[in-house]
């Protein structure tokens, strides 16, 4: 599937790695940088870029291990700092000197919050699309993000579904297994009621199948644990980077610069949700993973509530945020409700640019 009119593809050798990125708009336009989620690429944003006002310069890189960028391992013990640093290296190479508007989907939402922590003076705004909790994915409880166990057991590389990981590594583009990448995308990336154009879906499946797999990519490594469910995060790969053991972006509350934040999410999101079926606390409570120690010790992670608590604190410390829920949308409202999401997003950009 060819790129939309006005969107071009480029490759850049930054100080950290070689990155593929999409671009649209004038080179001297207001910079807007899109950061995709886990098991995705910059092409998940191309339809948004194609309809953008011409005063903006849109840039959508593939992050390390994904798409057309270098298949180099992510250091899970750094949380999402590798993604923050990689984004920074591209910004520097492209000579972008003014503060950028950052857009992050899912894992990308965590990455741009980390970027704000790392480079507070260089962020004009944040737009979050169903972002990972500031306290990571899995292993934490309550709105304060306290760990269920000190080693954050139940999160990290060991939490990935082995059948899905095997099919991803094998490049399976079919629908025979419920855990095939295509079926997982249909069931979780967007609303189950949404039917994507077949050419676009084929393209996005092919993009996902370019992902680095194994210990350095998806899902990452793990180590044994004496705590339920028997494993704890390792140090390499994307799911370890998402573990609350290493990822904590609640530090945006203390940022000396507090740009405005737009938080968008789908009401039917099954990936980042209070009680998502992808998280061990929920799976244990449903009896899918045996031996669950109970609600007091390992409840389902309140992901949305954790995000709201941090953003409320951000606002109380001088920042501001707006929450926009798209009824019926899944994990990607910019995909299954693109027109309404774009209207909200561009309206926000215009209000803060």
To the nearest whole number, what is the mean pLDDT of the chain?
97
How many domains does the chain divide into? 1
Whether 326 is covered by a domain: the verdict is yes
**CA-to-CA distance for 32 and 30, rounded, in angstroms?**
7
pLDDT at 268 over 90: yes
Rounded Cα–Cα distance for residues 331 and 312 (Å): 22
Do 163 and 139 form a contact (C-beta atoms < 8 A)?
A: no
Contacts of 329 (CB under 8 A, 6+ apart): 190, 191, 265, 266, 267, 268, 269, 336, 337, 341
Per-residue pLDDT of 307-347, as tens digits, reads 999 999 999 999 999 999 999 999 999 999 999 999 999 99
Task: Summarize pLDDT for 166-181 with one digit per residue, the tens.
Answer: 999 999 999 999 999 9
Residues 6+ apart with CB under 8 A from 197: none
Give the pLDDT of residue 312: 98
Average pLDDT over residues 4-8: 96
CB count within 10 Å of CB 162 equals: 10
Q: Examine residue 2 and state whether it is found in any structural domain, yes or no.
A: no
Q: What is the mean pLDDT of residues 290-306?
A: 98
The predicted-structure confidence for 55-108, as pLDDT tens digits, reads as follows 999 999 999 999 999 999 999 999 999 999 999 999 999 999 999 999 999 999
Asked if residue 3 is part of any domain, the answer here is no
The answer to whether position 312 is within a domain reads yes
Distances (CA, A) of 97 to 31, 92, 114: 9, 8, 19
Please say if the pLDDT value at position 292 is more than 90.
yes
**Residue 31 pLDDT > 90, yes or no?**
yes
Predicted pLDDT at 184: 97
Q: Are strands 123-129 and 100-105 parallel, antiparallel or unpaired?
A: parallel
Residue 272's pLDDT is 98
Residue 187 has pLDDT above 90, yes or no: yes
> What average pLDDT does this structure show over 22-29?
96
Measured distance CA(174)–CA(176) in Å, rounded? 6
Three-point CA angle 271, 272, 275, nearest 5°: 85
Buried b (16+ CB within 10 A) or exposed e, 270-296: bbbbebbebbbbbbbbeeebeebeeee
Question: Is 30 part of a structural domain of the chain?
Answer: yes
Integer-rounded Cα radius of gyration of the chain: 19
The residue segments making up the domain with residue 268 are: 8-352
Determine the Cα–Cα distance for residues 201 and 93; give it in Å rounded to an integer.
32
CA separation, residue 115 to residues 4, 55, 136, 195, 225 (Å): 29, 24, 15, 34, 32
Q: How far is CA 48 from CA 2, 4, 223, 310, 346, in A?
A: 15, 10, 40, 28, 10
d(CA 287, CA 291): 8
pLDDT value of residue 83: 98
% of the chain beyond a pLDDT of 90: 99
Which CATH number do you get for residue 76?
3.40.50.1820
What was the pLDDT predicted at 204? 98
Does residue 1 form part of some domain? Answer: no
DSSP 261-320: EEEEEETT-SSSSBT-TTSHHHHHHTTSSTT---TTTSPPPBHHHHHHHHHHHHHHTT--
The pLDDT-based confidence of 1 (bands split at 50, 70, 90) is confident
Q: Identify the band that residue 51 occupies on the pLDDT scale cut at 50, 70 and 90.
A: confident
Cis amide prior to 229 (ω within 30 degrees) = yes
Residue 202 counted as domain residue: yes
**Partners of residue 25 on adjacent β-strands:** none
DSSP annotation of 97 reads -
Please write the tens of the pLDDT for every residue from 105-129.
999 999 999 999 999 999 999 999 9
Question: How far is the C-alpha of 253 from the C-alpha of 86, rounded, in Å?
Answer: 23
H helix runs in 36-156, sequence order: 46-50, 81-93, 107-118
Mean pLDDT of 263-281: 97
Structural domain includes residue 345: yes
- Tokens at 155, concatenated: 């999160």
* Average of per-residue pLDDT across 243-256: 98
* 26 burial via Cβ count (<10 Å: 0-12, 13-18, 19+): exposed
């Amino acid at each position: 599937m060819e790129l939309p009119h006005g969107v071009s593809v480029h490759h850049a050798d930054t100080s950290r790695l070689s990155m593929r990125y999409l671009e649209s708009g004038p080179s001297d336009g207001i910079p807007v940088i899109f950061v995709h989620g886990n098991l995705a690429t910059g092409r998940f944003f191309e339809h948004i870029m194609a309809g953008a006002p011409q005063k903006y310069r849109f840039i959508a890189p593939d992050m390390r291990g994904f798409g057309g960028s270098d298949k180099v391992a992510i250091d899970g013990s750094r949380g999402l700092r590798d993604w923050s640093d990689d984004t920074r290296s591209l910004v520097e190479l492209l000579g972008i000197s003014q503060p950028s508007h950052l857009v992050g989907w899912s894992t990308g939402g965590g990455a741009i919050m980390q970027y704000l922590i790392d480079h507070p003076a260089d962020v004009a705004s944040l737009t979050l699309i169903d972002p990972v909790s500031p306290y990571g994915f899995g292993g934490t409880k309550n709105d304060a993000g306290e760990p269920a166990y000190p080693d954050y057991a139940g999160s990290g590389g060991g939490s990935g579904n082995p059948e899905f990981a095997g099919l991803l590594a094998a490049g399976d583009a079919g629908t025979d297994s419920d855990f095939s990448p295509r079926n997982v995308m249909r069931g979780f990336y967007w609303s189950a009621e949404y039917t994507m154009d077949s050419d676009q879906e084929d393209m996005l499946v092919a993009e996902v199948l370019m992902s680095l797999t194994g210990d350095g990519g998806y899902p990452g490594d793990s180590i044994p644990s004496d705590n339920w469910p028997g494993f704890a995060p390792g140090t390499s790969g994307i799911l370890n980077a998402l573990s609350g053991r290493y990822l904590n972006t609640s530090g945006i509350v203390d940022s000396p610069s507090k740009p405005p934040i737009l938080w968008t999410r789908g009401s039917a999101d099954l990936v980042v949700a209070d009680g998502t079926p992808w998280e061990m606390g929920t799976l244990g409570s449903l009896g899918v993973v045996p031996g669950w120690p109970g609600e007091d010790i390992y409840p389902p992670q309140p992901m949305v509530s954790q995000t709201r608590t941090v953003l409320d604190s951000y606002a109380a410390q001088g920042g501001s945020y707006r929450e926009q829920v798209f009824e019926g949308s899944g994990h990607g409202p910019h995909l299954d409700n693109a027109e309404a999401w774009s209207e909200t997003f561009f309206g926000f950009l215009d209000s803060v640019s």
